[in-house]
Amino acid sequence: MNIKILKENSPVFLVLLFAFFLSSWQIFSIVSLVILIPLVIIRYGIGSIWKTFKSRKLLLMFPLYYILHLAGLLNTENFSYATLDLQIKLSFLLMPLFLAPVLKETKAAKLKNAYISGVIFSLLFCLIFAAWRFIQEGDSIVFFYGEYSRFMHSTYYTMHINLAMIFLFEKLIPKESERSRKSDLLSFIGIIFMAISIFMLSSRTGTAVMYITVFSFLIIRYLIPAFSFFKAGKVLILVLLFGLLHSAVLVVYDRYSEVAPEITLEMENKTVQDGAVPAQVSSLSSRLFIWPLSWRIIIENPLTGVGTGDIKDVLVSEYEKAGFTEGVEKKLNPHNQFLHTGVILGFPGMIFLLILFIIFSWEYFERRNSLAILFNAIIFLNALTESVLERQAGVLLFCFFTMVFLMHISEKRKIVSRSAGDK
């Protein structure tokens, strides 16, 4: 009996464990997925797994994206890097097959709660660790940017926190019969804690995307359904509160004041020589140099790209020709997912990735799932300044929650269809 209960409940438990550690020690999420695969095969059987996969046609987009990268091996010389890249992207192949049956049986609310709890846990760890370092070193820099983010690059971490914030806002606007003052207070405290954490992480794109997605969510889900000046006033107060908290952080650590001077300097540098190496190397100036260079490589390899494993070698070679020492030393990638995919796979890969985002967004829009639309926006907007699907932190987040939203949209569709049939 106990073995039967374990067999039935362990897949769901492993998925919740996966969600919990997604924003911190992702190795535990990966281990959960590895353990989950044989359990899913034993419990559901290959036939049932394949049937579930086929019934969700949009899931096919993930394996197709992976297959495109496999095809890129035909045009690759650096198989060592290609193997690493394919390992990072393996979730595109495995998750649609082996997570789908379990997600079908796991309540979305449980997944969200596990994820929110994991984000709060990771943030508390970062805060405590930074406080300990501050006591030891006496330098406030430990509370900001890369020094504060202990688990992943600050932009990726901000994406995770951004999504958790929207989940908490969703808890604040349920039906009146479901309201709980204690729950609302805890959710609000969690939101403020997450907002301050995002400001401390100081990812410029990530912070901008947080403002866009959070307040879009409030407008769509809170103001539009039943507008009132009182509700609008509450949103305005929240905007002001966020602004005050952000300003307080900027007094201590400011990565924004350098943006305008950098752009001016780089524009002056470009007028002297097109494609000139950054006059002052920074994250912004590097991007302004790498983006046109990446586009030129795509134009030179429009149909096949440079291959799955050769992107680093090709870019470094171009950096060396241009004398871009920073790029050579750090082996910088394009810092734009669409350009990155374009360099690897040419225009077919870049167009496929764009279609993938459009198809998912359209599906979410048709089902009026604003939460899913905004999640897609978080990934898409951050992908404009980061190669978010080239790191485990971005791949796991995108694959997992895209599947969560697609699976639960499908379930809702079935319920609606049955209700219409009963009538």
Residue 360 to residue 363: CA distance in whole angstroms: 5
265 alpha-carbon distance from chain centroid: 31
Percentage of the chain surpassing pLDDT 90?
Answer: 66
The mean pLDDT of 74-92, rounded to a whole number, is 94
Task: Write out the two tokens for 100.
Answer: 């789908």
Nearest 5°: the CA angle 253, 391, 295 is 90
Task: Write out the two tokens for 364.
Answer: 């979410």
Question: What is the residue extent of each domain of the chain?
Answer: 1-55, 57-101+258-423, 108-256
| pLDDT tens column, 247-281 | 999 999 887 766 655 556 555 555 445 556 665 56
**CB atoms inside a 10 Å sphere around CB 208:** 14
**CB atoms inside a 10 Å sphere around CB 98:** 22
Residue 326 has pLDDT above 90, yes or no: no
Residue 330 has pLDDT above 60, yes or no: yes
| Burial tier of 56 (Cβ tally within 10 Å: 0-12, 13-18, 19+) | middle
**Cβ contact 7:45 at 8 Å:** no
Q: What average pLDDT does the chain have?
A: 87
Q: Please give the pLDDT value at position 417.
A: 41
Residue 262 to residue 361: CA distance in whole angstroms: 34
Residue 134 has pLDDT above 70, yes or no: yes
Cα torsion through 199, 202, 205, 207, rounded to 10:
0
Residue 413 has pLDDT above 50, yes or no: no
**Cβ contact 360:376 at 8 Å:** yes
Residue 343 has pLDDT above 60, yes or no: yes
Most distant CA pair in the chain: distance in Å? 77
| Burial tier of 73 (Cβ tally within 10 Å: 0-12, 13-18, 19+) | middle
The mean pLDDT of 304-323, rounded to a whole number, is 93
Question: For residue 401, which of 108, 64, 41, 51 has the smallest C-alpha distance?
Answer: 108
The mean pLDDT of 82-96, rounded to a whole number, is 94
The mean pLDDT of 224-236, rounded to a whole number, is 88
Nearest 5°: the CA angle 14, 370, 52 is 45
- φ, ψ of residue 367 to 5 degrees: the values are -90, 5
**Cβ contact 309:85 at 8 Å:** yes
Q: Please give the pLDDT value at position 254.
A: 81
| pLDDT tens column, 98-131 | 998 888 888 888 999 999 999 999 999 999 999 9
Band the pLDDT of 179: cuts 50, 70, 90: low
Q: Please give the pLDDT value at position 280.
A: 55
Residue 49 has pLDDT above 70, yes or no: yes
- φ, ψ of residue 331 to 5 degrees: the values are 50, 55
Q: 423: helix, coil or strand?
A: coil
| pLDDT tens column, 8-26 | 678 899 999 999 999 999 9
| Burial tier of 213 (Cβ tally within 10 Å: 0-12, 13-18, 19+) | buried
Which stretch of DSSP H or E encloses residue 285?
helix 283-300
Residue 420 has pLDDT above 50, yes or no: no
Residue 326 to residue 259: CA distance in whole angstroms: 19
Q: Please give the pLDDT value at position 419.
A: 40
**Cβ contact 56:406 at 8 Å:** yes
Band the pLDDT of 51: cuts 50, 70, 90: confident
Residue 241 has pLDDT above 60, yes or no: yes
